[in-house]
Amino acid sequence: MAGAPPLPQPSGLRAWLLSAEPNSRWQARLGRGYLGWRSFTKNPLAVLGLGIVVLLLFVALFADFIAPYSPVIGGDLRTQRLLPPSETFWLGTDDQARDIFSRIIYGSRITLFVIVLVSIIATPIGLLVGTVSGYLGGWVDTVLMRITDIFLAFPRLVLALAFVAALGPGIENAVIAIAITSWPPYARIARAETLMIRNSDFIAAVKLQGASTPRIIFGHVVPLCISSLIVRVTLDMAGIILTAAGLGFLGLGAQPPSPEWGAMVATGRNYLIDQWWVAAMPGLAIFVVSLGFNLLGDGLRDVLDPKAAK
Amino acid sequence: MASSIANGGGGHDALRFYLTKTAQFVFVLATTLLGLVAVTFFIGRIVPIDPVLAIVGDRAPPAVYARVRQELGLDLPLIQQFWIYLRKAVTGDFGNSVLTTNPVMTDIANTFPATFELATLGTLIGTLIGIPLGVLAAVKRGSLIDQFVRFIGLAGYSIPIFWLGLMSLLLFYAKLGWVPGPGRIDVTYSYLYTPVTNIVLLDTAMQGQWDAFWDAVSHIILPACLLGYFSLAYISRMTRSFMLNELAQEYVIAARVKGLSEMRVIWRHALRNAAVPLVTVIALSYANLLEGSVLTETVFAWPGLGQYITNSLQNADMNAVLGGTLVIGTVFVLLNLVSDLLYRLLDPRTR
């Protein structure tokens, strides 16, 4: 091997990150993060998914600057109704002479609002129910898991429909309904993880040191469950978007004139045959965004949970 | 399970083992169904609409209001109300629909066959295409067909079903004219047969009305393909992963060493073992189509349970909504149960 050029020695930041003997906990964590990032970026589809999600965030944040027209107030009803896509109206206009492109841009805020709120509500519930149930076992486990199974026994959209029917239509109620139907799978995952963790030696050690049950659950079990839960929630976000859009399509989500994508498709239904773009464009936005979340979730799973990727 | 084998596997122990299993099973089923009723009862109580006011109107004298309230049983304690609700639900009495004035159960019995017909055909399409696709993807891992299956799966998890339905109507009905518009059968044919099972394809075929039969086929084909696609996306993806798992097993190598043809190894040996978990997947996808049918039926004006629920929803007809929800939930539970039982029956390792 004398003739071969010497292997390039990593230097600088990368060497520091990849160091086999990190000097601090921070360095070790960052190094692991870097390794994860490297394997994540090897998957072009996952990077595409990340790109779509980042784009969604960007668009939602800067909607005021991107959208050329108002999402709610339309143009001239005599001349600008149901115009096909053109240079002035990129994706055409709807029956109220509103620019569909601008409405989709602003609609991203509603989509983001729903996703964030549902995950903020549903994830802690699932985490709490799952870890408590798994750690305590016994009758607590039986009762909590029976309740979880009952909620799993309803198809998600149908249960959400029934809840929205009772609470009344509206975006907040749609969020509550979707959150109520979202937590059971999280609880199942958190419980399965807890069952594996609770018999490990370090839990026994913590117990011997006299830690209380809440301290063990919240300080030692919960942090270990979080990574697989994050993957599951990310994979679920596409489902949340689709459920919210379905509720919107049925007229139970955000109410007019709010530019919710599902409701926009429902409006377009009346003009489907001659003005196809009214229904087609918002539906395409739903498709692209949920595809982005699915790709991102798949990529994250491969990095964080290599066992499940097979 | 392991303990019963360790005990020597005597007839007595085995019997006790099966009895405990059955008891557990019945307990799980009973509590789940009870829970379903409880959830719908709870939803019915949080409705902001006063059911008494809905009947008597806001100008009724207080005496009438009080009498109707009593007749509805709303003056009783909550737990007693639940008991009455439960007793009625068990006998299939969900009250009357405000919209159709029929008992809700009659409406459900009339609309459910349409949903059943659609979901069954959808699952059939998904299974017949999805399994071969999944097998091919697993065998030719990394090839074009594998990429294709991956793409179909991803798209199936990301496309809003109601949007795809509208777009397919636009393309195949409005632009190409290949299929008739929404609905279940053309009006001209709808009086040519007497509804017996309410499954149009079955009724027309049994009564020899072949023109009506083919008209019904042309109506159902698009929504069924749509549901079939979503079922296919799930089934092909799962088939692929089960087959990859089986193809890595030692018995496959043994079969190859024995000199069996590759066709036989794949389709007779590997697929046969992958079939056991696949049964569960097919049952689950069938259950998922019940959910998908709610939106699909709305798009295609298909007079099934899904459309019944959404119509009732838009008219604040809570009895109908809750009855329909409960029926779908029960069917969902039973399908899961069937898949579980089939799994035990087909896989000797679970015995």
Give dist(CA B218, CA B85) in Å, integer: 42
Asked if the structure places residue A205 within a domain, the reply is yes
- Tell me: pLDDT of A7 over 70: no
**What residue type is assigned to position B66 of the chain?**
A
Q: How far apart are CA B300 and CA B179, in angstroms?
A: 12
* Tokens linked to A209: 């040191």
Q: For this complex, say whether ipTM is above 0.95.
A: no
Residue-level pLDDT at B5: 43
Q: Is residue A54 part of a domain?
A: no
For chain A, say whether B174 makes contact (Cβ under 8 Å). Answer: yes
Per-residue model confidence as pLDDT tens digits over B46-95:
776 676 776 777 777 888 888 888 877 777 888 888 888 888 888 888 88
Cβ of residue A264 closer than 8 Å to a chain B Cβ? no
| Closest CA–CA distance from residue A289 to any residue of chain B (Å) | 8
What would the two tokens of residue B326 be?
Answer: 């409960």
CB contact under 8 A, B166 and A272: yes
In chain A, what residues touch B320 (CB-CB under 8 Å)? none
A245 touches chain B (CB under 8 A): yes
B215 phi and psi angles, rounded to 5 deg:
-65, -40
CB count, 10 Å around CB of B12?
9
> Is residue A70 in some structural domain?
no
Count of CB atoms within 10 A of residue A253's CB? 30
* A145, A231 contact by CB (below 8 A): no
pLDDT at position A309, please? Answer: 47
Q: What are phi and psi of A219, to 5 degrees?
A: -90, -25
Quote the pLDDT of residue B120: 92
Q: Using CB atoms, pick whichever of A238, A250, A251 lies closest to residue B158.
A: A238
What DSSP state is assigned to residue B74? T
pLDDT of res. A1: 44
Q: Are A153 and B333 in contact (CB under 8 A)?
A: yes
A237 pLDDT more than 60: yes
What tokens does B281 get? 């997947």
Count the domains in chain A. Answer: 1
Structure tokens at B166: 């509208």
Between positions 183 and 242 of B, the ones with CB within 8 A of A are: 241
Q: Is the pLDDT reported for residue A110 higher than 90? A: yes
CATH code of residue A153? 1.10.3720.10
* Chain B partners within 8 Å of A104 (Cβ): none
Distance from CA of B145 to the nearest CA of A (A): 17
3-state SS of B230-286 is HHHHHHHHHHHHHHHHHHCCHHHHHHHHCCCCHHHHHHHHHHHHHHHHHHHHHHHHH
**Residue A3 domain-assigned (yes or no):** no
The confidence score (pLDDT) of residue B210 equals 83
Residue numbers in chain B where pLDDT is lower than 70: 1-11, 48-49, 51, 54, 350-351
Residue range A140-188, pLDDT digits in tens: 998 999 899 888 888 888 888 888 888 888 899 999 999 999 999 999 9
Asked if pLDDT for residue A295 goes beyond 50, the answer is yes
In a domain, A151, yes or no: yes
Closest chain A C-alpha to B332 CA, distance in angstroms? 6
**At how many degrees (to 10) do helices B144-158 and A277-304 cross?**
110
Nearest CA in chain A to B152: A291
pLDDT on residue A3:
55
A92: left (phi over 0), alpha (psi -120 to 50) or beta: left
The answer to whether position A31 is within a domain reads no
Residue A307 pLDDT exceeds 60: no
How close, in Å, is residue B250 to chain A by CA atoms?
18
Q: Any residues with CB less than 8 A from the CB of A29 and at least 6 apart, and which?
A: none
Say how many CB pairs under 8 Å bridge A and B: 151
- pLDDT level of residue A305 (50, 70, 90 thresholds): low
Q: pLDDT band at residue A11, thresholds of 50, 70 and 90?
A: low
In this predicted structure, what is the pLDDT of residue B17? 80
* SS3 labels along chain A: CCCCCCCCCCCHHHHHHHCCCCCCHHHHHHHHHHHHHHHHHCCHHHHHHHHHHHHHHHHHHCHHHHCCCCCCCCCCCCCCCCCCCCCCCCCCECCCCCEHHHHHHHHHHHHHHHHHHHHHHHHHHHHHHHHHHHHHCHHHHHHHHHHHHHHHCCCHHHHHHHHHHHHCCCHHHHHHHHHHHHHHHHHHHHHHHHHHHHCCHHHHHHHHCCCCHHHHHHHHHHHHHHHHHHHHHHHHHHHHHHHHHHHHHCCCCCCCCCCCHHHHHHHHHCCCCCCCHHHHHHHHHHHHHHHHHHHHHHHHHHHHCHHHHC
Position B121 scores a pLDDT of 93
State the pLDDT at residue B119: 92
Category of A138 on φ-ψ map: left (φ > 0), alpha (ψ -120 to 50) or beta? left
Instruction: Decide if A123 is inside a domain.
Output: yes
Percent of chain A with pLDDT over 70: 95
- Tell me the residue range of the domain where A147 lies: 109-310
Q: Which of residues 36-65 of B touch A (CB under 8 A)?
A: 36, 38-40, 43-44, 46-48
Residue A205, min C-alpha distance to chain B (Å): 30
Among A277, A279, A235, A276, which residue's Cα sits nearest to residue A261? A279
Are A191 and A145 in contact by the 8 Å Cβ rule? The answer is: yes
B155 vs A291: CB contact, 8 Å cut-off? yes
> Around Cβ A200, how many Cβ atoms within 10 Å?
12
Portion 245-284 of B in contact with A at CB < 8 A:
245
Instruction: For residues A147 and A154, give the distance between their C-alpha atoms in angstroms, rounded to a whole number.
Output: 12
Residues with Cβ within 8 Å of residue B137, at least 6 apart in sequence: B143, B145, B146, B148, B149, B150, B236, B239, B240
Contacts for A66 with CB less than 8 Å, ≥ 6 apart = A59, A105
Domains identified in chain B and CATH numbers: 2-90 (no CATH), 104-350 (1.10.3720.10)
Domain assignment present for residue A169? The answer is yes
CA gap B345, A51 in Å, rounded: 47
Is some CB atom of chain B closer than 8 A to the CB atom of A48? Answer: no
**Residues of chain B positioned with their CB less than 8 A from the CB of A164:** 313
Query: Model-level pTM?
Result: 0.86
| pLDDT score recorded for residue A287 | 96
φ, ψ for residue B36 (rounded to 5)?
-60, -45
* Residue B11 pLDDT: 61
pLDDT at B2: 42
